[in-house]
Structure 1
Amino acid sequence: MKSLQGKTIILGITGGIAAYKGAALTSKLTQKGATVHVIMTASAKQFITELTLQSLSKQRVYSDTFQERDPSSISHIDLADSADLVLVAPATANIIAKMAHGLADDMLSTTLLAATAPVMVAPAMNVHMYQHPAVIDNINTLHKRGVKFIEPGEGQLACGYVGKGRLEEPEEIVKVVEQFFALQDSAANGPLAGKKVVITAGGTIERIDPVRYITNDSSGKMGFALSRAARVMGAEVTLIAARTDEAPPQDPEIRVVRVESAADMYDAVLDAWKDCDILVKAAAVSDYRPRQSAESKIKKSGDTLNLELVKTTDILENLGKHKDKQFLIGFAAETGNTEFYAKDKLVRKNLDLIVANDVTLEGAGFGSDTNIVAVYDAEGLVLNLPQTSKDEVARQLLQLAVKRISGAQS
C-alpha cells in the first residue's frame, strides 16, 4: 500500500556517518509513493554520492544553490513551494544550529528558510554533542517554532561511544512520516474541518510590581488538551495561553497567542471572537487586579501592606452578551456546591455548555493530567465523566459541541 502517494517530501541529508542511511530512507519513502527531492550538503557528499540518491529517488539531487538548470525558476524556492514536508535526516549539530539562527549559506539551509511546509528533524551526532547546552538550546528553539523531532536512538556510535545520538532507523522514520500524514488527512476530513475554534488556557497574572503578581494554580493542561483534540478533528485552532506550567502543543497548525493579564486575554479573545465558530474558555482568569501596579519593586516597610484590588473585565460574560453564531463553552472550577455554581454561571453568562469540576477531588483540577467533570446545558446534566485523562475529556467535550453546533448556528 502506497501510504504516501501524492506527497512531496524534501529530504535533507547532512554530513555525518549516518548519511549512508539516507539511501535506505530515500528508497523506502519512494516505495511508499512519495516524490522525494533530495538536497545534500557538501559534507554529506563525502559519505554518499548524488548518483546513488538520484537512482533511488528517480529525481534530480540538489546540492549547489547556484547550479540553476532551469532559467524560468529558482530551484530552492520551487522546492520549498512544492513540499508537503521537509525532512532532515540525518541532521547534524551544524544544520540544527543554522536552522535555529536563520542562517542560509547552502542549498539546504536556504530551502529550509523558504519552506512553509511542516519540518521534521532526525538528529544524529556524538552523545556528548547531543547533550551540549548549545545543541539543547537550539533544539528547544526549534521545538518552540513547531519543528518536529524524531529522537535519536541509543547504542554503539561510529565514534566508539555508546549512548544517545544514533540516527533512528529508516523504517521507524518512515512510520513517523506516515503517521504525520495520516493525522493530517484525518484532520482534513474531521468533524470540525473548516471550523475556527478558539481555546483559552492557563492562569492570567496581575502585576503588583515588576517582580510580584497575583495569579492562580491553572496549569494550562486542559486548554492544551482541547487544542490538540480540536486540531485532530480538523479545526483551525487558535490557542490563547497565559501563564502555564509547560510549553503549548508543538504543532505548527495550532496558532498560539501568548498573553499575561486578564486585560491582555480579553483583547486577544475579542480579536478572534467575531470569526470563530466555537470558543472554549478553559483559562482561569483573575477576577481582581491591583488598582495600581508599582513601576519599581515595592520595598518592605512596616508589618502590613494594604493592596487595593478592583474587578477585572468578565470575559465570558461579555462574550455571552454578544454571542451571534458562536458556540460558547465555559469552565467552572469549584471547591463545593459545584453543580449549583456551574448552573448559575451557565445562565448568567449565556453559555451553551459549562464544564464543572471540583478541584478538591484527587485526580481533578489544576496541574493534574486527569480530570473529573460534569457538563451541563440549560436543561441540566448532559455528560458525566469519572476520572479520565484531560485528552479524553477534551475529545468528548468537542464531540458534544459538534453534535450541537448546527443548532447553535441556526
Structure 2
Amino acid sequence: MVLSGKRVLLIIGGGIAAYKSLDLIRRLRERGARVTPILTQAGAQFITPLAVGALSATPVYTELFSREDEQDVGHIRLAREADLVLVAPATADRMAQMAAGLAGDLAGAVLLATRSPILLAPAMNPAMWAHAATRRNVASLQADGAHFIGPAVGEMAEAGESGQGRMSEPLEIVAAVEALLEPEDKPLAGRRAVVTSGPTHEPVDPVRYIANRSSGQQGHALAAALARLGAQVTLVSGPVALADPRGVDVVRVETARDMLAAVQNALPADIGVFVAAVADWRTAENAAHKIKKQGDEPPVLQLVENPDILATVGHAANRPALVVGFAAETRNLLENARIKLDKKGADLIVANDVSGTIMGGTRNQVQLVSRNGVEAWPDLSKDEVALRLARHFAKMLETI
C-alpha cells in the first residue's frame, strides 16, 4: 500500500465542504496513512474537533499559541514530520494567505515551514474560483510548487448555484495523495509529447461561436501525467477554465486551424495525444458584426469542414512514434473507434461513451482500442485515467 505508514498532515479549512474531510480521514486511514489534523477556526464552524479526533484517532491541533503544543515549537515539528500536507477544503482566503506568505494562524505557519509536498483541494463558489485574484493566487502557488486536485464542476451548497468550485470527492483526493507519495520512476525521461485539450471555438460573428461540450479536464490531466513521468510536454489547449498543469508548456488557441498550426509547430515529438474535442465544422465566412434577427426566418449558415488534426498528424511524414486519438461517441462506440483507428493513422484510440456526464464531469470510463484488440478499464477519476494512460504509453514506446 502506497500510503502505509505515511504521515499526512490534513488542514481543514472553513467551508461547507469540510464535512467531506471527515470521510477523507477515514479513506486515508483505510490505506494505512497516519493522519494528523489541523482544524482552523473557520473549519470548526462546520465540523467539530470531537468528530475529527474520533476519526483520526489522534490529537486535533487548532491553535498556534497553544501553551502545551508549542512548548517544543509544535508548528515546526508538525511541518517537518509530515510526508505530505493536504489542505481540504482549500478556501479562496487560505490560498490568498498562502500566496502572500502569511502565517497568522497554525495552518499558515505550518504551510510556510514545511518542506514536504503540498496538495490543495479547492472548494468555493464558482464566481470566487473564476475571480482574477484567485486565478493569480493559483498560478503563484503552482509556480511555488503546490499541487492541486480539482475543483470539480457541479451544484453548490447555495440554492440554484452550479459550476466549477466543488471540492473533489474523497477518493479522488486520496488518489492524488497516493500519486504524490508513490515512489516515482521516469519512464518518459527524454521523450517529447504534444497533447491537445479542451474544445475549439469557431466564430460565427463577434458574439457567437460553434463549439463542443469539453471542459479540458482529461486532456490537462494527461499532460500533467506525462510530465510527471518525465516527458517534455507541450499542451495545445482550446478555451478552458482550468489552471495550467505544472511543468508543462501551454499554447492557447481558439479555432481548429489554430490548434493544427500549434501542433505542427510542436513537432517533432515521440508521443502525440489528441484529446481535444475539435469542432468538425466552421462557418464559411465570419460575420463582421452581430447577426440580427431578420423577420421570422433564421439566418442560413454555410458550413465548411475543419481540418482533421488527428488524421493530418497520423499520416504525416514526421508523425510521432506513438499517435493516440480519443473517440467520444454516443452510440456504436467500439465500431466507430475501430474505424477511426485505421482511417486516421493512429496507433491507439481511447474510446469513451459521452452520452452521460463524462464531458464536464470528473470521472471517465474508457476502452483502449488498438490493432491487438480492446482493453476495457473501470470507472475512474480523470486523474487516475491520465496516469494509467501515461504509463501505458511508456510501455507502448518500448516496443516501437
TM-score by length of 2: 0.58
Which residue of the partner structure matches residue 265 of structure 1? Answer: 259
1:398 aligns to 2:393 (yes or no):
no
- Percent sequence identity is 36
Residue identity matched to 2:243 = P
CA RMSD, Structure 1 to Structure 2 (Å): 4.2
Aligned to 2:164: none
1:80-111 alpha-carbon deviations (Å, 9 max, x no partner): xxxxxxxxxxx99799579xxxxxxxxxxxxx
Aligned partner of residue 219 in structure 1, secondary structure = coil
Q: Look up the match of 1:194.
A: 190
- Alignment CA distance shift 1:237-1:213 (3 Å): same
**Cα distance per residue 1:48-99 (max 9 Å; x no partner):** xxxxxxxxxxxxxxxxxxxxxxxxxxxxxxxxxxxxxxxxxxx99799579x
Q: Which residue of 1 aligns with 2:16?
A: none
Gaps of 5+ in 2: 1-6, 8-63, 83-93, 102-116, 121-127, 149-175
- Say whether residues 1:226 and 2:194 are aligned partners: no
Q: The residue matched to 2:383 in structure 1 has which SS?
A: helix
**Residue 379 in 1 paired to residue 372 in 2?**
yes
Q: Secondary structure at the match of 1:386?
A: coil
Provide the rounded CA distance (Å) in 1 between the counterparts of 2:237 and 2:192.
Answer: 17
8 A contact 2:194–2:266 mirrored in 1: yes
Contact 1:97 1:138 in 2 (8 A): no
Which residue identity lines up with residue 194 of structure 2 in the other structure? V
In structure 2, C-alpha distance between the alignment counterparts of 1:140 and 1:28, rounded to whole Å: 29
Report the AA paired with residue 374 of structure 1: Q
Equivalence for 1:109? none
**Further displaced range: 224-233 or 366-375:** 224-233
Counterpart in the other structure of 1:354 = 349
Relative to structure 1, the CA distance from residue 358 to residue 120 in structure 2 (aligned partners, 3 Å threshold; closer, same or farther) is: closer
Q: Number of matched residues? A: 279
Other-structure match for 2:321? 326
- Name the counterpart of 2:311: 317
Q: Which amino acid counterpart does residue 203 of structure 1 have in structure 2? A: P
Q: Which amino acid aligns with 2:299?
A: L
The equivalent of 1:140 in structure 2 is: 135
Cα distance per residue 1:148-179 (max 9 Å; x no partner): 389xxxxxxxxxxxxxxxxxxxxxxxxxxxx9
Structure 1 pair 97–139 and aligned structure 2 pair: CA distance change class (3 A): farther
Q: Is the 8 A contact 2:95 2:138 kept in 1?
A: no
From the superposition, tell whether residues 294 and 235 of structure 1 become closer, same or farther in structure 2 (CA, over 3 Å): same
Letter of the 2:211 counterpart: T
Structure of larger gyration radius? 1
Unaligned runs of 5+ in 1: 4-17, 33-90, 99-118, 123-132, 151-178
CA–CA separation in structure 2 for the residues paired with 1:378 and 1:352? 8
Aligned to 2:250, the other structure's residue is in SS state strand
Taking a change above 3 Å as real, the CA distance of residues 222 and 149 of structure 1, as seen in their structure-2 partners, is: closer
Tell me the distance in 2 between the aligned counterparts of 1:341 and 1:319: 19
Change (3 A) 1:309 1:19: farther
* In structure 2, distance between residues paired with 1:92 and 1:400: 35
Please, which of 330, 334, 339 is the counterpart of residue 335 of structure 1?
330
1:96 and 1:376, CA in 2 relative to 1: closer, same or farther beyond 3 A? closer
